[in-house]
Amino acid sequence: MSKKTRLKIGEFSQHHHHIGLLFVDKNYQRRGIGKQLILHILKQKDDKPITVNATPYGHEFYKKLGFKDTDVEQVTNGVRYYPMINNDDYKLIGEHL
């Protein structure tokens, strides 16, 4: 009997026009995987913007891909996040990062 091993290095979920989750295993971070997941979403989106509630850890990551803060840092049920929205002008720029 053969044994298959599946390695999960990244995951994202998207509900309508909101990114609910973006995860890249810490052993595979800084290799462009998260960027590719976001660019995949941006390439497939329609004319409506994409939103995300970025953690403090991911805040700069999203800014580099063209997302802008829509408000100051928020705290809900003890969870800190920055509400953000993408800017269509960054769709093509993000591909060259």
For the segment 6-62, what is each residue's pLDDT rounded down to a tens digit? 555 555 566 678 888 788 888 888 999 889 888 888 887 777 888 999 999 999 999
- Distance, in Å, from the CA atom of 57 to the CA atom of 75, rounded to the nearest integer, reads 14
- The pLDDT value recorded for residue 37 is 86
Whether the per-residue pLDDT at 96 is higher than 60: the answer is no
- The pLDDT value recorded for residue 24 is 86
Among 11-15, 61-65, 89-93, which is the least confidently predicted range?
Answer: 89-93
Provide CB contacts within 8 A for 80, sequence distance 6+.
Answer: 55, 56, 73, 74
